Amino acid sequence: MTTLFAFLATLGILVIVHELGHYAAARWAGVRVLHFSIGFGRALWQRTDRHGTVWALAAIPLGGYVRFLDEREATVAEAEKAQAFNRQSLGKRAVIVAAGPIANFILAIALLWGLNLHGYSTLRPVLAPVPAGTPAAIAGLQGGDWVLSLNGTSIDNWQTLAEGLLVSSQTDARLEIEDAQGHLREAVFPSETLQTATQGSEPLRALGLSPGHPPLPPIIGSVIAEGPAAIAGLQAGDRVLAVDNASILDWQALVQRIRQTTGDDLTLIIERAGQPLTLRVTPQFVSEHGQRLARIGAAPQIDPVLMERMRVVHRDGPAEALGHAIERTWDLSVFSLRMMGRMLIGEVSVKNLSGPVSIADYAGQSVHAGWIAFVGFLALISISLGILNLLPIPMLDGGHLLYYLLEWIGGKPVPDRIQELAQRVGMALLLTLMTFALYNDLARLFTT
């Protein structure tokens, strides 16, 4: 239920801001706004303001629209023709159409400015154990490695590393690494390897990369109530010495040994208050990325000093926060366009497209992670919505802006017949994109 509410809240905020952009620009241009609707279909609530605009909340909350007075849609009284959208200058019409996506970018900048001003923390890009045979393993990367830079650019969080690897496939990716012992070295991903990885739906996993942490001692920090570990008698502070007679040196070795078990019971030798104890644990089995894995419901004991070292705190003053918010919005916009372009030419798989199911899932996860994570997610989706609507596809804002560009070049509007044909092509393109995105959503849902 939390996921559904988070998805509806995300969609509602983004749609309201987008349509308010169109509305505000229309009022500025002197265009009469007839209808402002959040959602489609039957109106659940509506009211008419003093300007004659009907404000409505509709039954299907998957978008919204603003409808203007327009002679192409209905007969307009002579006295009101000056307020019709189609009677406005080319520049005003372009501003009204562009104002929706621009409002989404402004929202993203405002949200990121607020985060930068308030302050937020991220975890440094420490790698989880690297699967054998993956490009990361071939490059010599290991679990616990810290990534310091990518092609000379400093990296201090996992998201920046992920984005950098995804956009650098045309050249070799050179990583500066600090291992768990503090030694520095370089690891290289050849461009061919990066290009191959981006052909799948999970390029970073294909490289063998996933977030991790430095080696932790095999000491129980907490157990889930009524979970396998708790039922077996494991307690916080227990040090695991061996699992089924296999010595355990760190927490990751413990996790790997448990996850790979196929038996009904595990025999754990632990140390408690200086004394060895033997306990039998019956694990739970879950499906993860197509694999059947065992879990016992226990978390590691985390050294606060280590966690502080892994954490990076970002906090700016008002002016600096605004500058960083604008820069981040620009960087994410360019990144999105690059990825779309690479999809078009086949360098990146269309499996990377996400639809409403994935967005809802990410929204729910961000809410569970806290308001800071949700605000960051909202900013990212707002940027994506702005970019999507600016694509030169008929039926989108970018398609209308393309018509206006052609009108400016040719000196006259694009003929209605051509616009109608383009609308049909645009509809087909959008339906194709939606089909791919929904298929990818369902594929992820049923393979995890």
Cite the active site residues: 19
Q: In which region does residue 411 sit, left (phi positive, over 0), alpha (psi from -120 to 50) or beta (all else)?
A: left
What's the CA gap between 421 and 186, in Å, rounded?
55
Phi-psi bin for 144: left (phi > 0), alpha (psi -120 to 50), beta?
A: left
Residue carrying the six token digits 């994506």: 384
First-to-last CA distance in the chain? 20
CA distance 137 to 189: 10
What Cα–Cα distance (Å) separates residue 319 from each residue in 122, 220, 331, 375? 22, 45, 18, 20
| Total residue length of the chain | 448
The rounded distance, in Å, linking the Cα atoms of 145 and 183 is 10
Token representation of residue 370: 């806290």
Tokens representing 439 are 């298929």
Strands 220-223 and 54-68: unpaired
Secondary structure (3-state) at 218: coil
Non-local CB neighbours of 122 within 8 Å, separated by 6+ positions: 156, 157, 158, 159, 311, 312, 314
Contact (Cβ atoms closer than 8 angstroms) between residue 108 and residue 329: yes
